[in-house]
Structure formats: structure tokens, C-alpha cells
């Protein structure tokens, strides 16, 4: 249980430089069993016009259902923050806006009127 008098703990994660570089993925597949979720990340070549699109798996992650819920919540929170920041960048006062389409939640396409 949570003890209010317990000292605060911090996670200290270390990784090698090659892991720090990360991998690029432009495709993900999510599957599940009764006990876990699996997210498979891949890099696929969408420019190929064959019936079969080539791709390579760059990472596969297995998660418990509880951790999957926490990951979804963290991703939703971060995506919402990103949308807000992108929307602000597209405001005319910020120097954005001109004709590039609507940002998140914006009306888009309307030019400021001169007064």
C-alpha cells in the first residue's frame, strides 16, 4: 500500500548509445492474448506498387494489460499536448496559418482581414 512516510523512489534507466538512437517505424500492428498485448513495429516501403508491400520488423514489445492501459493514457496525453502546440503554431499571431489547411480544431482557410 502507499505509505505517505515512505521515501520517494525514482527510476534510473540507462541504455547503450545504439539503443539511444532508436529505430524508425511507419507501421504498427497490435495483437493480444488473454495475458498480454504485443505491439510489432515495422518499417514498410509504401512506394512499392507490387501487390505485396515489403517491410522489416524493427521492434516487438510485449506488455501486460495494466501497462498497456498506462501506455495508452500516456500516449493520449502527449498527443493532446502535441495537437495543442501545433494548433498554436498555426495561429496568425504566431506567424503560421497561411493557406496550409486547418490545424487541430481550427477553422482553416480564413485569412485575417485588414482594418
What lies within 8 Å, CB to CB, of 38 at 6+ separation is: 30, 31, 32, 60, 61, 62, 63
Question: Would 50 be classed as within a structural domain?
Answer: yes
**pLDDT at residue 87, rounded to an integer:** 86
pLDDT tens-place string over residues 20-32: 889 999 999 999 9
**pLDDT at residue 91, rounded to an integer:** 77
Both 51 and 17 in one domain: the answer is yes
> The whole model's pTM is what?
0.65
pLDDT tens-place string over residues 47-79: 888 888 899 999 999 999 999 999 999 999 999
Both 55 and 16 in one domain: the answer is yes
Both 56 and 83 in one domain: the answer is no
What lies within 8 Å, CB to CB, of 23 at 6+ separation is: 41, 43, 58, 59
**pLDDT at residue 49, rounded to an integer:** 84
Both 54 and 79 in one domain: the answer is no
Confidence band of 2 (pLDDT split at 50, 70, 90): low
Both 71 and 87 in one domain: the answer is yes
Helices (H), 42-106: 65-89
Owning domain of residue 50:
7-63
Mean pLDDT of 101-112: 39
Question: Would 115 be classed as within a structural domain?
Answer: no
pLDDT tens-place string over residues 91-103: 777 776 554 444 3
Both 24 and 56 in one domain: the answer is yes
* 97 vs 100: CA distance, rounded Å: 7
β-pairing verdict for 55-63 and 27-32: unpaired
Question: Would 103 be classed as within a structural domain?
Answer: no
**How many structural domains comprise the chain?**
2
Question: Would 114 be classed as within a structural domain?
Answer: no
**pLDDT at residue 109, rounded to an integer:** 39
Question: Would 74 be classed as within a structural domain?
Answer: yes
Question: Would 111 be classed as within a structural domain?
Answer: no
Amino acid at each position: 500500500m502507499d505509505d505517505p512516510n515512505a521515501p520517494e523512489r525514482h527510476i534510473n534507466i540507462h541504455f547503450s548509445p545504439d539503443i539511444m538512437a532508436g529505430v524508425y517505424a511507419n507501421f504498427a500492428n497490435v495483437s493480444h492474448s488473454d495475458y498480454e498485448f504485443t505491439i510489432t513495429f515495422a518499417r514498410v516501403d509504401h512506394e512499392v506498387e507490387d501487390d505485396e508491400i515489403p517491410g522489416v520488423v524493427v521492434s516487438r514489445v510485449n506488455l501486460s494489460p495494466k501497462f498497456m492501459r498506462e501506455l495508452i493514457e500516456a500516449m493520449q496525453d502527449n498527443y493532446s499536448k502535441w495537437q495543442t502546440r501545433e494548433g498554436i503554431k498555426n495561429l496568425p499571431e504566431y506567424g503560421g496559418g497561411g493557406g496550409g489547411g486547418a490545424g487541430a480544431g481550427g477553422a482553416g482557410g480564413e485569412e485575417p482581414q485588414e482594418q
